[in-house]
Each structure stands twice: as C-alpha cells, then as structure tokens.
Amino acid sequence: MAIFRWTRGVALVLVALVAAGAAPVTAQEVPGGPVTPYVDPAKAYLFAHMTKERYGVLHYSVSLDGLHWTRLNGGKPVFDAYHGHASIARGGDGRYYLVGNNSDEDPLIRFWVSDDLVRWAPFGTYRPDLKDIPGHPHALQRIGAPKLTFDTPSGTFLLTWHTPNENGDARDPERYWASQRTLYVRSKDLRTFEGKPRRLFSWDMATIDTVLQPDPRGGYCAIVKDERYPSYQWTTGKTIRMSCAAQLLGPYPLPGAPLSPNFREAPTLVRAPNGLDWLLYYEQYAGTSYGLSMAPTLQGPWYQVSGNTGVAAWNRFEMPAGVRHGSMLEISRQAYDALRAAFDGD
C-alpha cells in the first residue's frame, strides 16, 4: 500500500494498490470541502408556495439544482384565484392538478388544472362527509392543508388532509392540534370519489401535513408532522418523521426517529438531479426559515444540511426569504424555461 498526498485538496487520502481481484478504494468527498451541485441539463424544480406576507396565496420559486432557489414574478403571486397550502400532482394524462381550500372552515376542497403550470383553470370541488368517520368520532368541520398524490400503478389520486375532533381554548390550545388525524379518499378523476373519508394511520398520534412518496426500493413512505407538543414524554413532538409500508394505504407502522428539529412542519420531498439523493425540505414556522435534510435512500441515513445561515461558506442550500409551505416537484428544463419566460420575461 502506498500513500499519496492530494496536492489540490485539504486532506490526505489512502490509495490502495489493487491486489488480484480486489476493488480499488475511491476517494471520498472531503468533509466541509467546497461542493459544486450537480445540474442535469434536462431537469429543474418548481416550488409552489405561500409567503409570510401573503398566507395561502400562490407564489413560485424555481431551481436547477434543487438546492438554490429563485422567486419568480418579482415575488408577486402567480395565480390570484388560488388559496391554500399549494399541492400539485401530475396526473396520468400529463396535466398538472392543484388542490387548495379557502380556509380550514371551507367545507369544499377545490381543484384546478393546467397543461403548462403557467395558466390554471378551475376543475371542480369535493365536499368531504366528515360524519361518522371510523376511529375519529365527532370530527369537527375543519379541513386542513389538502394534498394530492397521483399513484401511477393504480392510476388513482390520493387526496389527504387533516381534521380534528376537539376544540381548543386559551387554557389548552394544544388539545385542538393533538386531536388532528390524517384522512384520505381516492379518486380516478377528481370528479367522483371512492366512499367516505377514512383515517390513513391506525396509530393514536396527531399528524398533519402528510405527503406520500413511492419508494424506488418498493412500497411507499408517508412523511408526516408529529403534531404532539414536545415534552420529555414526546420528544418527537412537532418534528418531521417517516413511516414506510408495502402498500399505498398501509398499514403503516409507527414512524421512525425525527428527520428534523422540533417545531418544523410542511415537509416536501424531491429527488436530487443526480438521482442519488433525497432532499427533504421543511419550514421552521411561522415563516422563520427553511431547513433541509438529505439521505441516499428513504431509509437513510439522514442528516441536516446547512443553509440560510448568512455565512456563504457554510451554506449548501439557499431559500428566498419569507417563503412558506407548499410543494416541490421535478419539472423538465423546457417547463422551467417556459416558467421563466412567462413570469420573468427571460
């Protein structure tokens, strides 16, 4: 074995001379060293979100590397008719579907459709029947943050949201949040819906902001916010966690360890342009900053990435100030160019 000095680096690396049939040892990334994010010339990303100043109003940010984001339209809204926690899914017909509601008290979940992510048209509404939900009696007429997932194998949309069954008050506001449960209904076309809403998870734990992700290794992973207030008994409270199952509707086991610090919500997940890393973003509410955790597989290992620190040398990602929760999705470079042309004239 010989030792060589990496003359252009900041560390020593051991290079193993290859014995018969032995695999060579490859140099690893230097911890803390400069990183040039990979950009795929065919890929880009859209973040459809609200802002701290305009809660529930649709704004766009875009990125080429999934790490450095730029606001579109000069930071102004991109679609005035929309209100909600922006969630976009691409259907089997290639069109994009956007879901929202006017407020948690709005009895209707509302849909829009677009061919190009630039122009949106009303598509329809759905009014969930929240009476007599198994395992969630006395549900309040509240619909929180509806989200859309399109499941390619079954050709169906999964619509999820969270609904509580207890009111809070000034002495115990967390009673309301602790009673939140994730509900779902399926639809082939977002015109008709299969049966009454049901609970997605069997465990007795408050969850909100649930997103579903197919796992390339098989099955599905549910990324949730553990909505219990943190304490010594519930150290995972108000964190982003994950549970994986063989089927879209589970059964899902209890979620694993936190993937974020406490007091984070609104997770959104994309695959990095290298196709090797997962990028899990979440908001430090209310509108304080965004965080990012990264892993090579959905099962981990996950670590928290440094960004938005004000020290450029430490940062691995940058989000525009004031962005609040929504959803990210991978788009083509052609779609990216069309968005830049439509909203910024580029």
Residue 19 has pLDDT above 50, yes or no: no
> Tokens 């997103």 correspond to what residue?
211
pLDDT tens-digit map of 176-220: 999 999 999 999 999 999 999 999 999 999 999 999 999 999 999
Mean pLDDT of 111-115: 98
The reply to whether the predicted model has a pTM over 0.85 is: yes
Q: Is the dihedral of CA 307, 270, 279, 225 positive or negative?
A: positive
Angle at 262 between CA 257 and CA 266, to 5 degrees: 90
Distance CA 99, CA 109 (A): 7
Which residues of 59-176 form beta strands (DSSP E)? Answer: 59-63, 70-71, 87-90, 96-100, 109-114, 121-126, 144-151, 156-163
Distance CA 141, CA 132 (A): 12
The residues, any chain, with a CB within 8 Å of residue 307's CB and separated by 6 or more, are 67, 290, 291, 292, 315, 316, 317, 318, 319
Question: Is residue 77 a contact partner of residue 83, using CB atoms and an 8 Å limit?
Answer: no
pLDDT tens-digit map of 133-161: 999 999 999 999 999 999 999 999 999 99
